[in-house]
Chains A and B, each alone.
Chain A
Amino acid sequence: MRLARYLGHRILLAIPVVLGIVVLNFFLIHLAPGDAASVLAGESGAASPEYLEQLRQKFGLDQPLGTQFLVYLTNMLHLNLGYSFRNDSPVTDLILDRLWPTGLLMLTAFGAALVAGTLLGLIAATRRNSWRDSVISLVSLVAYATPGFWLGLMMIVVFAIHLGWLPTSGFDTVGADTEGWDQVWDVARHLVMPAIALSLFYLAVYARVMRASVLEQVGMDYVTTARAKGQTEIRIMTGHVLRNALLPVVTMAGVQAGNLIGGSIVVETVFGWPGIGTLAFNALQSRDLNLLLGIFFVSACLVVLVNLAVDLLYTALDPRMEL
């Protein structure tokens, strides 16, 4: 019951954020030079005058600004994101079609970064000032400064072109028509490089946060108490420190959710991964601004959902958090 009330409260708080995203989108449309209708029509010149007129009516672009906003808001809240001329399809359908590959890539990269990052941070903190600590710190410093798309290109050169271990691009082998586990294996082979290229930056972030967090926790009184009680170091780490040290990492994961989507745009472009990122890149190439606005709206709403999930996870990890 308390959980339901808490969840309701968080959802209520998310509403102004979604409203804010709509306001920002509306502002951006009017920021563009020229007619807002031509922005919504996508590639300028491609739309017929009749279609532009239809758009003006549908989005109320011939009305005063206040009315325009209300019409736009209603359309957005019905997930009516307009039509993409270039793709000859509603924007919502285009995005929903691409959600699965992007979701798979992001979840894999995020999971890998989280597991490997916390593990490396833990090792660095427990072996403070050892060679392991120095190597991990150096690797995370370098990873933190490496552009993901460039890393992807370099991996293609080494692992796909020279060594021939992994496929250069795509979601699966074209025309292979695999099924069952063969298909899973095929997709996994295509997933390896994009997932690494996307995850390395976040791995560095989590490793740094985790190291600092563990170092802060091991100085706490409860650790001294546990040690005085004669508990083993491993038990102290897994039973006490780990759970507390994970809290800042979880917070950071929520903060980074939005950036992960941005990162996946460039990485997907490099590997021809058929997700929202490639869709955004194609929209850029054809100046399909309405499709881009739709992608921004959907991805921002996704981030709000992820943050909601992080909040819940936080309460599960930290009982001190009042529901």
Chain B
Amino acid sequence: MGAGLARFARNRMALFGAAILLGLLLLVLATPALFPGDPFRLAGPALQPPGGRFLLGTDTLGRDVAAQIAYGARTSLLIGVGATLGAILFGVIVGGLAGYYRGAVEIVLMRVTEFFQTIPAFVLAILIVAILSPSVTSEIIAIAAVSWPGIARLVRGEFAALGGREFILACTGLGASDARIIFRHMLPNCTAPIIAVGSLLIGTAILIEAGLAFLGLGDPNVMSWGLIISAGRAVLRSAWWICTFPGIAILLTVLAINLVGDGLNEALNPRLRER
């Protein structure tokens, strides 16, 4: 892991991405101080262009777009990270069981995984949120529900490869329980690739969240980037800035996450490194 981080630190693009993410994190932490009060609160005259008192302008109701974006960052990151953790948890369980027990269990679980990789993920996410009714929690559930198959396949592969290694055979020979072998020996040996692949999932999750919120499936009481764009769409002709800036925020965030994720993949994923 240490050698991997050193490799990561030599990757300039990845460091650039990490710097953007650090800036975003600082923005999220400083938001209550920079923009005190509710982002849904009316701050000034409606449809003010960028510049002057409102750096990024105001929306149709006179709400500060900059404040909305700052609060939206928190939502995007929360949902992106939350959904990814959910996907990792579920993917590790499915992939781990398949890779450890092999045989019929593996065949059944992997067919189910492939099934979820085939069906239209975004349409399924829309359905889940629509059925559970829009909220941050249902968005996290829906995005996690369509994001886990990649992790499951990765973990299955890792577990299957580890299963034949001598130290695992030694554990089995010494009478260690399945749970002990899985949690103490196998799982720690594949954290690095899980982190690498998982980091890329955060970017995808943020894109899905933006799409859901744009379609009106975001939590109406929680500010998010997709929600701002969705609301600004009606006045696109006269007030371009309402849609433009949150989109740039999404683009920069996802770009930064992908750069960091690519860097982590190159540094930590043994399969890629061997190439």
Q: Enumerate chain A interface residues (CB-CB to B < 8 A).
A: 16-17, 20-21, 24, 28, 31-33, 39, 141-142, 144-147, 149-151, 153-154, 156-157, 161, 255, 258-259, 261-263, 265-266, 269-270, 280-281, 284-285, 287, 289, 292-293, 295-296, 299-300, 303-304, 307
Q: Is the CB of B130 within 8 A of A258?
A: no
Q: Is the CB of A142 within 8 A of B255?
A: yes
Minimum distance in angstroms from B271 CB to a CB of chain A = 14
Complex CA gap A20/B255 in Å reads: 35
Complex CA gap A292/B207 in Å reads: 21
Could you list 8 examples of A-B contacts with CB < 8 Å?
A21-B119, A31-B131, A144-B258, A150-B250, A157-B244, A258-B119, A293-B127, A296-B123
Interface residues in B83-127 by Cβ distance below 8 A to A read 111-112, 115, 117-127
Among B115, B117, B131, B210, the one with the most A-chain Cβ atoms within 10 Å of its Cβ is B131
Minimum distance in angstroms from B197 CB to a CB of chain A = 15
Complex CA gap A16/B233 in Å reads: 42
Q: Is B214 close to A, CB under 8 A?
A: yes
Interchain CB contact (< 8 A) of B128 among A28, A259, A304? A28
Q: Is the CB of A255 within 8 A of B130?
A: no
Q: Is the CB of A262 within 8 A of B117?
A: no
Q: Is the CB of B250 within 8 A of A147?
A: yes
Q: Is the CB of B247 within 8 A of A150?
A: yes
Q: Is the CB of B211 within 8 A of A141?
A: no
> B122 — nearest CB in chain A belongs to which residue?
A262
Q: Is the CB of A28 within 8 A of B229?
A: no
Q: Is the CB of B120 within 8 A of A145?
A: no
Q: Is the CB of A145 within 8 A of B258?
A: yes
Complex CA gap A147/B210 in Å reads: 8
Minimum distance in angstroms from B253 CB to a CB of chain A = 8
Q: Is B240 close to A, CB under 8 A?
A: yes
Residues of chain B lying within 8 A (CB to CB) of residue A295: 123
Minimum distance in angstroms from B100 CB to a CB of chain A = 24
Interchain CB contact (< 8 A) of B258 among A141, A154, A307? A141
Count how many chain B residues have C-beta atoms less than 8 Å from C-beta atoms of the other chain: 42
Residues of chain A lying within 8 A (CB to CB) of residue B119: 21, 24, 258, 300, 303
Interface string of B180-217 (1 = CB under 8 A from A): 00000000000000000000000100010011001111
Complex CA gap A285/B130 in Å reads: 10
Q: Is B154 close to A, CB under 8 A?
A: no
Q: Enumerate chain B interface residues (CB-CB to A < 8 A).
A: 111-112, 115, 117-128, 130-133, 203, 207, 210-211, 214-217, 229, 233, 236-237, 240, 243-244, 247, 250-252, 254-255, 258-259
* Pairs of residues from A and B, 5 with the lowest C-beta to C-beta distance, nearest first: A262-B122, A150-B247, A145-B254, A145-B255, A258-B120
Known: A150-B229, A289-B131. A259 touches B243 (CB 8 A): no
Q: Is the CB of B254 within 8 A of A265?
A: no
Q: Is the CB of A147 within 8 A of B247?
A: yes
Minimum distance in angstroms from A141 CB to a CB of chain B = 6
Known: A141-B258, A145-B255, A265-B215. A303 touches B126 (CB 8 A): no
**Which secondary structure dominates where chain A touches chain B?**
helix
Known: A150-B250, A258-B118. A284 touches B236 (CB 8 A): no
Residues of chain B lying within 8 A (CB to CB) of residue A28: 127-128, 131
Q: Is the CB of A281 within 8 A of B215?
A: yes
Among B117, B123, B214, the one with the most A-chain Cβ atoms within 10 Å of its Cβ is B123
> A254 — nearest CB in chain B belongs to which residue?
B118
Complex CA gap A142/B251 in Å reads: 7
Complex CA gap A319/B112 in Å reads: 29
Minimum distance in angstroms from B24 CB to a CB of chain A = 14
Minimum distance in angstroms from A159 CB to a CB of chain B = 13
Q: Is the CB of A261 within 8 A of B126?
A: no
Q: Is the CB of A304 within 8 A of B118?
A: yes
> A13 — nearest CB in chain B belongs to which residue?
B111
Complex CA gap A277/B96 in Å reads: 37
> B212 — nearest CB in chain A belongs to which residue?
A266
Complex CA gap A182/B152 in Å reads: 51
Complex CA gap A269/B213 in Å reads: 13
Residues of chain A lying within 8 A (CB to CB) of residue B120: 258-259, 261-262, 296, 299-300, 303
Minimum distance in angstroms from A313 CB to a CB of chain B = 17
Other A-B pairs beyond A154-B243, A284-B217, 14, CB < 8 Å:
A144-B254, A144-B258, A147-B207, A149-B210, A153-B236, A161-B237, A258-B119, A258-B120, A262-B125, A266-B211, A266-B215, A281-B215, A296-B127, A300-B120
Complex CA gap A292/B142 in Å reads: 15
Residues of chain B lying within 8 A (CB to CB) of residue A149: 210-211, 214, 229
Complex CA gap A258/B207 in Å reads: 16
Known: A147-B250, A262-B122. A153 touches B255 (CB 8 A): no
Complex CA gap A142/B214 in Å reads: 20
Complex CA gap A223/B74 in Å reads: 51
Interchain CB contact (< 8 A) of A153 among B121, B131, B217, B243? B243
Residues of chain B lying within 8 A (CB to CB) of residue A32: 131-132
> A269 — nearest CB in chain B belongs to which residue?
B215
> A32 — nearest CB in chain B belongs to which residue?
B131
Minimum distance in angstroms from B220 CB to a CB of chain A = 14
> B250 — nearest CB in chain A belongs to which residue?
A147
Q: Is the CB of A255 within 8 A of B229?
A: no
Interchain CB contact (< 8 A) of A141 among B122, B133, B229, B259? B259
Residues of chain B lying within 8 A (CB to CB) of residue A255: 117
Among A144, A255, A293, the one with the most B-chain Cβ atoms within 10 Å of its Cβ is A144
